[in-house]
Amino acid sequence: MATRSSQPTVLLVEDEPAQREVLAYNLEAEGFAVARASDGEEALLSVKEALPDVIVLDWMMPGVSGIEVCRRLKTRAETRDIPIIMLSARSEEVDKVRGLETGADDYIVKPYSVAEFMARVRKELRRTRPSTVGEELRHEDIMLDAQTHRVTRDGAEVKLGPTEFRLLATFLERPGRVYSREQLLDRVWGRDIYVDTRTVDVHIGRLRKALTQFGGDDPLRTVRGAGYSLG
């Protein structure tokens, strides 16, 4: 099966560089490793070299076409289980059927939104690698698993209330980044909830207490006049 690194790998097969880089940018922003290929031949080589966790495949390509790549991968035992998402500029029903017939797992018609694209990729990854899709956040010895709603520090379980959990999750998305109290209220409490900004301080205090209950340094940093950050 596919690699077992902490990040899932996405093989992106698209001959148009601009298109390819936009998608790559978004995938990488979400923490996926991206392998690139600009035609069918490269794609087959790349798969042979290192099995990706999911393949995004453009229909129209010079040389070996996307549909042909798909057919070949789906007939080989060791690549059969890798989900394939087909991209196509054609919207005709005929093509959609043909795409899925050759074994593609999903089919996205251009033009599509990046959000839709990302959602489809996540969906396929969830099937094959349920634990690693956006569900696990780490920073140093702190680990948060959104799937099981658990937090551990240095292996020891840390019990957090819902608010502290979301707060920590927010910090873990971008360790080091300073969030103002207003931003934290926005993200953790929600856009139109009115709570005093000092409430943030109290919850920060509670999160600190929970994270240091078994010893260990305080991982949260207070930036006077600006807000808080993790690390």
Looking at residues 130 to 149 of the shown chain, list those that interact with a copy of itself (rule: CB under 8 A): 147-149
Long-range Cβ contacts of 88-95 (<8 Å, 24+ apart): 88/58, 88/59, 88/60, 89/59, 89/60, 90/59, 95/59
d(C-alpha 23, C-alpha 13), whole Å: 11
Q: Give strand ranges (E) for the chain.
A: 9-13, 33-37, 54-58, 84-88, 106-109, 136-139, 142-145, 150-153, 156-158, 220-223, 227-230
The residue (of 1 and 89) whose beta carbon lies closer to a copy of itself is 89
d(C-alpha 168, C-alpha 211), whole Å: 10
Stretch of residues binding a copy of itself (CB under 8 A), selected from 51-59, 69-77, 176-184, 208-216: 176-184
Rg (CA), the chain: 21
| Tokens encoding 218 | 């305080």
- Choose which of 2, 15, 26, 206 interacts with a copy of itself (CB under 8 A): 26
- Choose which of 4, 77, 94, 111 interacts with a copy of itself (CB under 8 A): 111
- Choose which of 161, 174, 176, 214 interacts with DNA (CB under 7 A): 161
CB of 121 to DNA, least distance (A): 28
d(C-alpha 23, C-alpha 215), whole Å: 43
Indicate the helix (H) or strand (E) that contains 100: helix 93-101
- Choose which of 6, 62, 196, 214 interacts with DNA (CB under 7 A): 196
Among DNA, a copy of itself, none, partner that 199 touches (CB below 5 to 8 angstroms by kind): DNA
Confirm if 146 and 21 have CB atoms less than 8 A apart: no
CB of 76 to DNA, least distance (A): 32
Looking at residues 163 to 182 of the shown chain, list those that interact with DNA (rule: CB under 7 A): 163-164
Counting residues that bind DNA (by CB under 7 A) gives: 26
CB of 171 to a copy of itself, least distance (A): 12
Counting residues that bind a copy of itself (by CB under 8 A) gives: 30
Among DNA, a copy of itself, none, partner that 36 touches (CB below 5 to 8 angstroms by kind): none
